[in-house]
Chains A and B, each alone.
Chain A
Amino acid sequence: MTSLGDFVEIFLQALTAGILLGAIYGLMCVGLGIIFGVMRVINFAQGEFLMLGMYFTFYVVVSFNMLWFLGPAVGPYTGALLAGPALFAVGYALHRFLISRVTGISVAGIEGEGHYAQLILTLGLSLVLQNGGLILFGSTPQSVRTPLSARAWEIPLLYDVNASLFLNKARAIAGIVSVVVAVALYWFITSSRLGKTLRAAADNAAAAVYMGIDVDRAYRIAFSIGIGITAIAGGLVATYNPFQPYIGLDFVIIMYAGVVLGGMGSILGAFWGGMTIGLVQQLSTLVLPTQLQNATIFVVFLLIVMVRPQGLFGRATERI
């Protein structure tokens, strides 16, 4: 067994861990990416919706054990998927009564001022949800335990009988579910009529209005879908990661980094942006101390933003 062989094994282990983590990051970035891409709103409360998705899954699966008939392996994932429609409804109501006051076609003309209002509103919302969560759910860390999180698949590496990759089953399934949801959403956005409406509103809101598209409704749906998708990602994270009401802060920054990396406005890009973050985070552990793992994310993020401000998949459009 050579040290090179060891390194390859460790590298492959980090790579697979990065891909699985990246898939979940990708999904949550897609949720934020839809909101940003369609509405051009920086939603600071996105991390809190991720947190709500976690607690939704927790209450449905653990506290009330509503999915007992699905068994301990399938139940948590079903619960995570159900967080999607549930938080979609929450997002719909929030947009209807709150977010629409400071976004949409009516404020599109206000340069600067409109942005400020959106920023503070979502910051305020984030504070209310975080601390409201603390009041409702308590500060004790919770988790959606699944028997799978203690099991792993062992994948033999062909070059060496002694080397093999370990895939934590809970993380692996969460990663696969993320990819499936992301693909389904991508198909929906590109193929369905509603998806085309969203893309039209995203591309040029004013022109979409003239084409008879209800842009404010498109915004509402985009916002709700974005919230729902991020909530699903939250439910999936909950299956292997303990959480408390303030966990959103840890993820909102990863989401923004991923969305900007992928190119704001590109949904596919948001997924790959999130994937990049996951990979960077895992692979950086090979060469750097773990405390600097998160610092690397931001350094890579800054580098890409400086070198390619439109992101990996975005397009640069600036007309003078």
Chain B
Amino acid sequence: MRAQRKLIAPVLVIAIVAMAWIAVGMMVTNSYYQLMLTLVPIWAVMGLSWNLLSGYTGLVSFGHAAFFGLGAYTVTIALVGYDITPWLGIPLGMIVGTLAGIVIGYPTFRLRGHYFALAMLAYPMALLYVFEWLGYQEVPLPMKREAPGFYMQFSDYRVYIALAVGLLVVSLLISLAIERSRFGMSLVAIKQNEPAAEAAGIDTLAWKMRAIMLSGAIAAAAGGLYAVVLLVVTPASVFGMLTSAQALIVALFGGVGTLWGAPIGAAILIPLSETLQAQLGDVIPGIQGVVFGIAIILVVLLAPEGIFWRIRDQLHRPRPVGVVPATPMAPRLVVETPLPAPQRERAPILTVSSLSKSFGGLRAVTDASFEVGEGEILGIIGPNGAGKTTLFNLLNGFLPPDAGKVVFAGHELIGLKPNRICRLGIGRTFQVVRAFPRLSVLNNVVVGAYATTTNDADAFAGASEALAQVGLIGRSDANASGLTNKELRLMELARALAGRPRLLLMDEPLAGLASQEVEILLKVIRSLAAQRITVVIIEHTMRAMVRLAERFIVLDHGRVLAIGKPSEVVHDEGVIEAYLGKKWAAIRAHS
């Protein structure tokens, strides 16, 4: 219900702005201003399409003109060549845009960061030359005097304004629905920390594919309407660099990662640029570009994240610290039960056999074999560079092993992606906490809870429960970027727990904590054992580990050096040698 009430305000704003825009459009008679009133919503839609992929996921696309151009050319070719009305041509273009999203997205999502951005640049460029070669240099849309309405050709320009606003409203509602659902949350999680999202059970490739398909369809619709409005299509005007840049600029200028950004950007920039062109274009050709460029530069310097966020930050000043009771509640711990006797045989939940991985010449993990019993706390220790984190990365699917087998509760894990492994019941925390810094604590954990349920309300309930368990429920609404190290570690643990794991891989959860903080974490970790969650933990702090783990695995240079009870392992000569050197081991042996 809370989510529904939250939707009413933005929907109202969208409705009011759309009505106002159309009302203004009805009163304007100057055809030049009518064109501008049509172009603003079209570019706003284009900006929203860009924002849907790039704003939410952080994968910057320089190639949105590919979708725009395909939409424009589908409508044009359908009308010119096959006499298909744009009423059908635009939906057809959206299908082409969706297909282009699949064809472009699938290979290109293997790339990250700048590589992705620049690879995207190549698609519209290649299409531009291909369309020129095909002989579509300049295709005018034929006038259909016999049935203008049927062919989306209106003598009254105000119909185009209404059409463009209608498309914008639909795009805004789609964006709103995405922002308020697990779709948007998953994309934002991908943007803020993709490996963490994947490890928390988010199928990152699937969500990115959905985003680019939807984004491609919306951009194609904008392109199709653009062709109908301007009545002529050239490869340079729809596939050109400036079309991609325009999409990116209106979204970035207005505000990234929010549905309000692109409309704000388009409403300011398009009229500015068009007016300048009209007023001064004849006197000083190029003045439009100069002023436009300077405006962009100024906004970047004054509001680097876009106008929307700048204004929002001005209105919502950060609340002074101390108003919100900052005292976190004590962890709601399950009564600490004495640890089961370690001697008892446990059924293995995880079986690792002959696992090996090398990076070039460096053998990070060599022929590692061990079992983890259900419900036990197993410690993995070893000097720096022993291959501990690499072992975790192999177990949860971040890295493919060169050889070996991993079986978890009857499932073969090798070859599965991290999100699949997470969904099978293996949670993970990281050596350096991988939070989603701009999400609230609750939302950070909700991302982990999505793996367990298809119902968003259940996910929120599960997240709150996990936060209560680690004692962080009082900080639910805080931004993750404002947490202390201890709170971050607890939050990451809660995110892993929200996925209801049967096995939890914890990579140095105590690193950088003060001694009282270590105690809090130890308590929480012990409470997991009481819930029959199996824990494998990498840790350097030997004193804490001896108190926590039932068994140790000692790794050195990627090999399993020893497995056994803490008391045995710490007296093992090989282990002492690995940690302290041969000399020390010899002294120990003689004393």
Tally chain B residues at the interface, Cβ within 8 Å.
54
**A101 vs B284: C-alpha distance when bound (angstroms):** 30
**Given the complex, which residues of B lie within 8 Å of A98, measured CB to CB?**
297, 301
Which of A181-189, A228-236, A292-300 lies at the interface with chain B? A292-300
Asked if A131 meets B293 with Cβ closer than 8 Å, knowing A116-B256, A294-B129, A299-B126, the reply is yes
Q: Name which of A127, A134, A292 has the most chain B CB atoms within 10 A of its CB.
A: A127
Are the CB atoms of A264 and B115 closer together than 8 Å? yes
**A295 vs B114: C-alpha distance when bound (angstroms):** 21
**Given the complex, which residues of B lie within 8 Å of A318, measured CB to CB?**
112
**Given the complex, which residues of B lie within 8 Å of A194, measured CB to CB?**
none
**A291 vs B248: C-alpha distance when bound (angstroms):** 28
Are the CB atoms of B292 and A127 closer together than 8 Å? yes
The answer to the question of B407 belonging to the interface, with a C-beta cut-off of 8 Å to chain A, is no
Are the CB atoms of A306 and B110 closer together than 8 Å? yes
User: Closest residue of chain A to B303, judged by CB?
Assistant: A117
Are the CB atoms of A124 and B122 closer together than 8 Å? no
Are the CB atoms of B126 and A295 closer together than 8 Å? yes
The answer to the question of B530 belonging to the interface, with a C-beta cut-off of 8 Å to chain A, is no
Asked if A120 meets B296 with Cβ closer than 8 Å, knowing A101-B301, A298-B126, A305-B111, the reply is yes
Chain A contacts with B in 96-149, Cβ cutoff 8 A: 98, 101-102, 111-117, 119-121, 123-135, 139
**A198 vs B485: C-alpha distance when bound (angstroms):** 34
Query: Which DSSP category, helix, strand, loop or mixed, fits chain B's interface?
Result: helix
**A125 vs B117: C-alpha distance when bound (angstroms):** 19
Partner of B290, one of A111, A116, A131: A131
**Given the complex, which residues of A lie within 8 Å of B115, measured CB to CB?**
260, 264, 305, 309
**Given the complex, which residues of A lie within 8 Å of B88, measured CB to CB?**
none
Separation in Å of the A10 CB from the closest CB of chain B? Answer: 21
Asked if A124 meets B300 with Cβ closer than 8 Å, knowing A139-B285, A264-B114, A298-B125, the reply is yes
User: Closest residue of chain B to A42, judged by CB?
Assistant: B114
User: Closest residue of chain A to B253, judged by CB?
Assistant: A120
User: Closest residue of chain B to A257, judged by CB?
Assistant: B122
Tally chain A residues at the interface, Cβ within 8 Å.
52
The answer to the question of A249 belonging to the interface, with a C-beta cut-off of 8 Å to chain B, is yes
User: Closest residue of chain B to A134, judged by CB?
Assistant: B286
**Given the complex, which residues of A lie within 8 Å of B125, measured CB to CB?**
253, 294-295, 298
User: Closest residue of chain A to B289, judged by CB?
Assistant: A131
Are the CB atoms of B241 and A249 closer together than 8 Å? yes
Partner of A116, one of B126, B195, B305, B393: B305
**Given the complex, which residues of B lie within 8 Å of A119, measured CB to CB?**
60, 248, 252
**Given the complex, which residues of A lie within 8 Å of B304, measured CB to CB?**
102, 113-114, 116-117
**Given the complex, which residues of B lie within 8 Å of A127, measured CB to CB?**
289-290, 292-293, 296
Chain A contacts with B in 225-271, Cβ cutoff 8 A: 245, 249, 253, 256-257, 260, 264
**Given the complex, which residues of B lie within 8 Å of A260, measured CB to CB?**
115, 118-119
Residues of A within 8 A of B (CB): 36, 40, 42, 98, 101-102, 111-117, 119-121, 123-135, 139, 245, 249, 253, 256-257, 260, 264, 289, 291-295, 298-299, 301-302, 305-306, 309, 318, 320
Residues of B within 8 A of A (CB): 58, 60, 107-108, 110-112, 114-115, 117-119, 121-123, 125-126, 128-130, 132-133, 191-192, 195, 241, 245, 248-249, 252-253, 256, 284-290, 292-297, 299-301, 304-305, 393, 398-399, 437
A-B contact pairs, 28 of them (CB 8 A): A42-B114, A42-B117, A102-B300, A113-B256, A116-B256, A127-B290, A128-B290, A128-B293, A131-B286, A131-B289, A133-B286, A134-B285, A135-B290, A253-B121, A253-B125, A260-B118, A291-B132, A291-B133, A295-B126, A295-B128, A295-B129, A298-B125, A301-B122, A302-B122, A302-B126, A305-B111, A305-B118, A309-B111
Closest 4 CB pairs between A and B?
A: A131-B289, A127-B293, A134-B286, A124-B296
